[in-house]
Copies of this chain bind each other. A is one copy, B any other.
Amino acid sequence: MNFEIEHSDNNSKARAGFITTSHGVVKTPIFMPVGTQGTVKAVTPRTLKNEINASIILSNTYHLYLRPGTQILEKAGGLHNFMNWDETILTDSGGYQVYSLTHLRKLKDDGVEFRSHLDGSKHFFTPEKVIQIQRKIGSDIMMPLDECTPYPCDYDYAKKSKDLTSRWALLNKEAFEISNPLYGYEQALFGIVQGSVYKDLRKSSAEDLTALNFDGYSIGGLAVGEPTNIMYDIVDFTTNILPEEKPRYLMGVGRPENILEAIQRGIDMFDCVMPTRNARNAYLFTSNGVISMRNAIYKDDFQPVDENCNCYTCRNFSRAYLRHLFLSREILALELASIHNLSFYLNLVYEARKQILNDSYSEWKNEIINKLSINIKTIKEG
């Protein structure tokens, strides 16, 4: 994996760059559609690539490990083959899902024991194990096992947890170094900065990780319920410590305005279920705010969802038709809405990139956030 900064904005910390992996070039800043179970929900890989212009997706180690299982993925020659996605794939470590989805989990010094949310079966994830699993998945960018602290989180717990994540980071890195990719192409490994909302912990975590020289750095433990200004402050603080020359990934973020504010603070990569999940709930992003496609005001509105959008859905279908499909519980509603929301997110980061190259990012961002925020309160959280 290679990361190159094409241009840094003159008036902010925003950067426009390229991540080159064995499966292609990812222009940053980038949004990664979420393909939890080896499919970005309701969208074919062809549409994802050619229509939505996604260059990288995120998939979930925890889910893939449980189903279809690493044995199937290995026989398939990895996840790219299995799901027919020939662009870049990033996988999380499964740590976040272990904390959020499973019951009866036990955090131990050498890993985490948990029961499957599917069948209750018992499993144990260690730093070594999640590297082995991700070798079998064959993702281009792997994540290490970490502990994601909740919000609020007291200082003592946050410190202990940060120390554990740092110890695991070393074990993750060692497991990565001594293992080889299975499918003939390189895989990269990021580190994950933790430390909750405490700057000294974030600093220490970032220093622990950079000492291990990962291929990139994720910021975890944010977007877990803390006030937005705290999130922005921690992001700003952390990107000041992380090395310039490595990509930075803010995990699980977020709303369009969160993404734009984080880009300004030096973040290059994002993922969130918000565009796809909201789409399935009939909430569509537009350049003038979010609209609920079930609303009766759209029953005879023959405009596209967003007049400024050129996606397949907006080029070919009206709000009235989408509303009809949602009310009729038609599967096509979910497809068309997902295509639009993902296109909206990708168009947003591609436009952000242009503005960075043009040194006009900050003014553009302020203008666009004002528009976007109009109905943003009405949407469901991702």
Contacts and interface: CB of A to CB of B under 8 A. Distances in A.
A331 B335 contact: yes
A152 interface: no
Contact of A39 (B42, B67, B332): B332
The 5 closest A-B pairs by CB, nearest first: A42-B331, A68-B324, A37-B328, A39-B332, A84-B316
B331 A72 contact: no
A321 B83 contact: yes
A3 to B, nearest CB: 30
A371 B331 CA distance: 32
B312 A76 contact: no
A38 interface: yes
B325 A46 contact: no
26 contacts: A37-B324, A37-B325, A38-B321, A38-B325, A38-B328, A39-B328, A39-B332, A41-B331, A44-B312, A44-B335, A44-B336, A46-B312, A67-B328, A68-B324, A71-B300, A72-B320, A72-B324, A75-B300, A76-B320, A76-B321, A83-B321, A84-B316, A331-B331, A331-B334, A331-B335, A335-B335
Contacts of A71: 300
B82 A330 contact: no
A115 interface: no
Interface string A33-54: 0000111011111100000000
A39 to B, nearest CB: 5
A312 to B, nearest CB: 7
Contacts of A328: 37-39, 67
B42 A332 contact: yes
Contacts of A82: 318, 320-321, 324
Interface of A: 37-39, 41-46, 67-68, 71-72, 75-76, 82-84, 299-300, 302, 312, 316-318, 320-321, 324-325, 327-328, 330-332, 334-336
A342 to B, nearest CB: 14
Contacts of A312: 44, 46
Given A38-B325, A84-B316, 8 more contacts: A39-B328, A46-B316, A67-B328, A72-B300, A75-B300, A82-B320, A84-B317, A331-B335
Given A67-B324, A83-B321, A324-B68, A43 B76 contact: no
Given A83-B321, A316-B84, A318-B76, A330 B68 contact: no
Q: How many copies of this chain sit in the oligomeric assembly?
A: 2
A328 B68 CA distance: 9
Contacts of A331: 41-42, 331, 334-335
A87 to B, nearest CB: 14
Contact of A325 (B39, B72, B336): B39
A331 B299 CA distance: 25
A42 B333 CA distance: 9
A37 B330 contact: yes
A38 B72 contact: no
A312 B71 CA distance: 26
B68 A299 contact: yes
A63 to B, nearest CB: 8
A19 to B, nearest CB: 25
A336 to B, nearest CB: 8
Nearest to A334: B331
Contacts of A321: 38, 76, 82-84
